[in-house]
Amino acid sequence: MRISEIAELLGRPLEGDAEVQIQGVAALDDANSDELAFARETVSVERCAASAAGALIAPVGLEVGERPVIRSPNPALDFARFSRHLASEQQPRRGVSPQAWVDPSAELEEGVRVAPGCLLGARVRVGEGTVLHANVVLYNGVELGSECVIHAGCVLREGSRLGDRVVLQPGVMIGGDGFGYEAGDGGRLEKGPQVGGVVIEDDVEIGSNTTVDRGSLGDTRIGRGTKIDNLVQIGHNCDVGEDVVIIAQAGLSGSTRIERGAIVMAQAGIVGHVTVGERAVVGPQSGVMRDVPAKTRVLGSPEREGRLQTKIVAALPRLPDLLRRVRELEKRLKRLNSDES
C-alpha cells in the first residue's frame, strides 16, 4: 500500500512523500526500507535516525528525518490497527472450500469464509463476514455472530453462542464438559449433568489452547470486550464480566464470578463460588479462596492484601537471623531467671 492510503485508513495526517510503498510492518530497530514502524514520545531522535524503516507512525513534534510520517496521538494503537488490517487480508478465500463439510441445515450469511477441513454440524448459524480457518469443528446448533475469526483447530461444542467480532486463536476449546462428579455407591464417581452452554459476547478474544467449559445446567458466560490469554482454564458456570483481562495459565474453578474490569494475572488459581470484584487485581501465582473486594489487589497463596503480602515476602529472608536472635534472648532470660532464684 502507499503510505497515503495507510494514513487515510487510519484517519491521521501525513507528512512527506505520499507515494512511498509499504510492504509490511516491523519494530523500529528491525524495519527495512519497505516497512512501516512506530515510535513513542519517549523514543530518542538518534534511535529514529538509526532506523531503516521506510515510514513511521509517530507523535506530533518527534523528529524522524526525511522519511514520511503519519502523525498520531497514540502511535502504538494506530500501528496495532494497521497490523490487524494486514492480518485480515491473509484470510481464506471467500465462500466454502470444497474440502470442508457443511450440513445442509447450516445457515451461512454473506461473506463467510470456510477453509479446508472444517466441519459444520446441523443447524449451525454463521454470521456475515465470519472466517473459519482450517479444521474448525462446529457441533450441532452452534451460533457465531458477524466478523468473527476462528483460527485453525478450534472446536465449539453444542450450545455455544458467540457474539460479533469474537476472535479465537488456534486450538481453543469452547463448550467441553465441566469437571463435575458425584460420589455413588461404594465411592464410585458418577458424572453430573453437563447440559448447559457457553455464551461469549461481542469483541472477546481468547488465546491459543484455552478451554471454556459448558455450564452444568445454565450457561458459562464471557462478557463483552474481555481478553483471555493462552492456556487459561474457565470452569463450568463461570461468569466473567465485561473488559476483564485473564493472563496465561490462570485457572477459574466452577461458578467463579469475575466482575467488570478485573485482572487475573498469570498462573493464579481461583476456587469455585468466589467473586473477584470490579477492577480488582489478582496477582501472579495467587491462590484465591475467598471473595476479593472491588478495586483491591491481592497476592500470594492464600491470597492477602497486596501491600501486606509484599511486606511478608520482604521479611522472609530475615527470618533465620530473627530466629537466632530470639533463641539467644531466650537463653539469656533463662540464665537471668536462674541467677535470681
List the catalytic residues.
Answer: 236
Rounded Cα distance between 306 and 199, Å, is: 33
In this structure, are residues 198 and 216 in contact, taking their beta carbons and an 8 Å threshold?
A: no
- The number of helices, as runs of H, and strands, as runs of E, in the chain is 5, 38
Locate 144 and state its grid cell: 457465531
In this structure, are residues 282 and 266 in contact, taking their beta carbons and an 8 Å threshold?
A: no
Other Cβ atoms less than 10 A from the Cβ of 300: the count is: 18
Q: Where are the alpha helices (DSSP H) in the chain?
A: 3-10, 45-50, 75-88, 306-315, 319-340
Place of cell 503480602: 309
Rounded Cα distance between 95 and 108, Å, is: 9
Rg, the chain, Cα only: 27
Helices 3-10, 75-88: axis angle to 10 degrees equals 110
Rounded Cα distance between 123 and 96, Å, is: 16
